[in-house]
Copies of this chain bind each other. A is one copy, B any other.
Amino acid sequence: MNTTFKLLISGRILTKSGLVHNFKYSSTAWPFVKDTYINDFKVIDYSKKYDYSKSTHAFHCMVYARMNEQTFTIQRPRGCVLMQMRFDGYLGFPGGLVDPGEDAIHGLNRELEEEMNLDLTKHKVTEKDFIFSQHSSSRNLTLHFYALETTLPELEKIEARVQLAKDYGSEVLGIVRVPLYTMRDGFRGFPAFLTHAFIGSAREQLLHTLQHLKLLTPEEISDALAAKPHKG
Contact = CB atoms under 8 A, between A and B. Distances in A.
B176 A176 contact: yes
Interface residues of A, number: 38
- Copies of this chain, count: 2
A170 B88 contact: no
B169 A173 contact: no
Nearest to A69: B169
B89 A192 contact: yes
A70 to B, nearest CB: 9
A171 B75 CA distance: 11
Interface of A: 71-72, 75, 80, 85, 87-91, 138-139, 156, 159-160, 163, 169-171, 173-179, 183, 188-197, 232
8 contacts: A72-B170, A89-B189, A89-B194, A89-B195, A173-B176, A174-B176, A176-B176, A196-B196
